[in-house]
């Protein structure tokens, strides 16, 4: 069951309209019942989700197999200068989740948004609530890509997380000034070079020591979030932590678990 409660008349009408055009069937298996509020993903397909759990790198959140009980930093993080305190992701970017993210981003399958937002909130809210955070800042798209896609998935998901935490979304602080190529086929070094100087402060933007949650949909090497975090610190952010919906994984088989709804 989704944590995203339908509480407003507007949301109710939106769900009714979706239900008119789309039958209340899971858009993954196309057999079981699933409602708009559930993002059209049924309980059985939910079992294909793998939430990331410890042990993982204290800086970038890369999970590791085995029984590591001490705080550790992976070799990748020791080799680069990171401008964020830590990065965490809700789920593994594989299988069902990766397919849904691709449909959401590239095919405008916006009916999956409640499902994706629910995954993010389940994992992020318990970790973030113990500290006072001021802002959620979504990774911006270049204007050309934003016009092509017609929406920024990071901003939409960020608004769900901000509402769950009772804080503000600021999409007016950082802009993407270079139209970078897709990161998906680049190695770590190429990704860093691809986003170098891709972000800049928006004119007149200022921060005064605020604690910022930098939000994106997928974390792979961290090149994009690191470049954006550097700009936020230049603007005056006191601290930046990164949260993403999904984490691209490499290396040996990793361990996961499904956390309970809170």
Q: Are 205 and 140 in contact (CB under 8 A)?
A: no
Same-domain pairing of 81 and 18: no
Q: Is residue 151 over pLDDT 90?
A: yes
Do residue 163 and residue 38 come from a single domain? no
135 and 41 in a single domain? The answer is no
- Res. 251: pLDDT tops 60: no
pLDDT band at residue 178 under the 50/70/90 scheme? confident
pLDDT band at 117 (very low <50, low <70, confident <90, very high): very high
pTM of this structure = 0.83
18 shares its domain with 82 = no
Rounded Cα distance between 56 and 72, Å, is: 8
19 and 93 assigned to the same domain: no
What is the per-residue pLDDT for 254?
A: 40
Count of structural domains within the chain: 2
Check whether residue 24 and residue 150 sit in a common domain. no
Mean pLDDT of 3-7: 43
Q: What is the 8-class DSSP label of residue 111? A: G
Does 24 share its domain with 126? no
User: Is the same domain home to 84 and 207?
Assistant: yes
The yes-or-no verdict on residue 7 having pLDDT over 80 is no
Query: Is pLDDT larger for residue 3 or for residue 93?
Result: 93
Residue 22: pLDDT above 90?
Answer: no
Which CATH number covers residue 180?
3.40.50.2020
pLDDT band (50, 70, 90) for residue 75: confident
pLDDT above 80 (res 260) = no
Q: Which domain holds residue 172?
A: 52-247
For residues 61 and 87, the answer to whether their CB atoms sit within 8 Å is: yes
Between CA 155 and CA 133 the distance in angstroms is: 17
If DSSP codes are grouped into helix, strand and coil, which group holds residue 240? strand
DSSP one-letter code for 184: T
Average pLDDT, the chain: 85
pLDDT of residue 240 exceeding 50: yes
Lowest-confidence pick of 73-77, 80-84, 157-161: 73-77
Do 79 and 152 lie in one domain? The reply is: yes
Query: What phi and psi values does residue 168 have, to the nearest 5 degrees?
Result: -100, 145
Same domain, 27 and 63: no
pLDDT at 188: 61
pLDDT of residue 174 exceeding 90, the answer is yes
Note the pLDDT tens digit of each residue in 187-217.
666 666 666 778 999 999 999 999 999 999 9
Assess whether pLDDT exceeds 60 at residue 128.
yes
């Amino acid at each position: 069951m989704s944590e995203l409660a339908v509480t407003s008349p507007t949301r109710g009408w939106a769900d009714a309209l979706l239900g008119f055009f789309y039958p209340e069937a899971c858009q993954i298996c196309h057999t079981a019942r699933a409602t708009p509020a559930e993002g059209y993903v049924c309980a059985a397909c939910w079992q294909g989700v793998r939430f990331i759990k410890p042990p993982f790198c204290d800086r970038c959140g890369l999970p590791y197999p085995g029984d590591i009980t001490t705080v550790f930093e992976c070799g990748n993080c020791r080799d680069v200068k990171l401008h964020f305190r830590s990065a965490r992701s809700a789920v593994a970017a594989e299988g069902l989740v990766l397919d849904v993210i691709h449909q959401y981003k590239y095919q405008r399958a916006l009916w999956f948004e409640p499902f994706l937002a629910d995954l993010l909130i389940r994992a992020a809210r318990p970790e973030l609530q113990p500290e006072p955070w001021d802002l959620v800042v979504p990774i911006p798209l270049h204007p050309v890509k934003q016009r092509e896609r017609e929406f920024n998935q990071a901003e939409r998901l960020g608004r769900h997380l901000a509402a769950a935490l009772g804080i503000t979304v600021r999409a007016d602080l950082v802009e993407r000034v270079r139209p970078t190529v897709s990161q998906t086929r680049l190695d770590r070094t190429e990704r860093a070079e691809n986003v170098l100087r891709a972000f800049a402060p928006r004119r007149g933007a200022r921060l005064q020591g605020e604690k910022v949650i930098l939000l994106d949909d997928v974390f792979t090497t961290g090149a994009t979030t690191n470049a954006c975090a550097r700009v936020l610190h230049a603007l005056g952010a006191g601290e930046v932590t990164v949260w993403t919906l999904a984490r691209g994984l490499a290396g040996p088989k990793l361990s996961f678990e499904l956390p309970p709804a809170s």
